[in-house]
Amino acid sequence: MQSPAPDVEQVGRATRQVLRALDDLTDEQAAAPSRLPGWSRAEVVTHLARNADGIRGMVEAATKGEVTTMYPSSEARAAGIASGRGTAAALLRADLRGAHDRLVEAWNDLPEDGWDRLGRASVTRTMRDFIWVRRREVEVHHVDLDLGFEPSDWPVTFVSDALDEIFGSMVSRGVPTRALIDVDYLVVSTDHDRAWRVAIRGIEVHVTEEDRTRGSADGEASGWGCDVAAWLYGRDPRGGGVLATGDIGVLRLPRWFPFA
């Protein structure tokens, strides 16, 4: 099986970018609000550090042939994030750097056959899959820090993989309060030349990737892949980065299929 070393390095590259962005962060800027409602920048950085610790715990358990959870409880996760409130910028940088280094060390210690061992978060995944989870956390929360890094700065490969994840998991993320309607929506990533049809038939939902020229849709949302991903990740809930035509109910997709 292919070595995950290149994927681990992508996590390292993304983390180094965040750390460079934090180099000149003042204590006042750390305490200021991030783009995440109710979260300060300090809490976002602390979350990134605790997320690394949570993944490391699963990796260390997998190394011993055990299966554990990323966080002991949702309350423990929330407490870990809140603990960053008011933390000095220098301590935030050191915390994130140390948590990342310890995670990479755990990954390096995982035996070759350990990448298919499991850990539990919101869903159960393999250790190999958690590399992607970590990369997504770092890339998306870098935007949340509101320090000049935008979705347009995401690498093309990250955007492509993000779109695969978003549409591949969309059906399982439907909320019970969404409208039970009969409608076809098309979402188009213009620069990737990819399109997905979201067919909603009451309680049933079908998502397929297709040629955007195949038939019509009731509503269409189109934009650069980075803007589409940011919108569906909940970072642009009003769809300011996408163009909606036809039934603008298509803009409700992030609300009906939220990405937690």
Q: Are residues 37 and 143 in the same domain?
A: yes
- Residue 76 counted as domain residue: yes
Percent of the chain with pLDDT over 90: 88
pLDDT digits (tens, 9 = 90+) for 6-18: 999 999 999 999 9
Contact call for residues 171 and 206 (beta carbons, < 8 A) = yes
Alpha-carbon gap, residue 106 to 149, rounded angstroms: 29
Contact call for residues 175 and 209 (beta carbons, < 8 A) = no
What per-residue confidence (pLDDT) applies to 1? 63
Last residue of a domain, one of 149, 181, 202: 149
The set of long-range contacts for 63-72, using a CB threshold of 8 Å and a minimum separation of 24, is 63/106, 63/109, 63/110, 63/111, 63/114, 65/117, 67/117, 67/118, 67/119, 67/120, 68/119, 68/120, 69/119, 69/120, 69/121, 70/119, 70/120, 70/121, 71/121
Q: Is 38 left (phi over 0), alpha (psi -120 to 50) or beta?
A: left
- Residue 247 counted as domain residue: yes
Q: Measured between alpha carbons, how far is residue 29 from residues 39, 87, 90, 141, 244 in Å?
A: 13, 11, 12, 16, 35
Last residue of a domain, one of 149, 182, 207: 149
| SS3 state at 93 | helix
Using the Cα atoms of residue 23, residue 24, residue 28 and residue 33 in order, give the sign of their dihedral: negative
Q: Are residues 115 and 244 in the same domain?
A: no
What per-residue confidence (pLDDT) applies to 237? 81
Q: Are residues 123 and 175 in the same domain?
A: no
What per-residue confidence (pLDDT) applies to 260? 75
Q: What is the CATH number of the domain that holds 188?
A: 3.30.1050.10
Q: Are residues 126 and 193 in the same domain?
A: no
- Residue 158 counted as domain residue: no
Q: Which residues of the chain have pLDDT under 50?
A: none
- Residue 157 counted as domain residue: no
Domain interval for residue 177: 171-253
- Residue 75 counted as domain residue: yes
DSSP one-letter code for 181: -
Of 145, 149, 142, 113, give the one whose Cα is nearest residue 33.
145
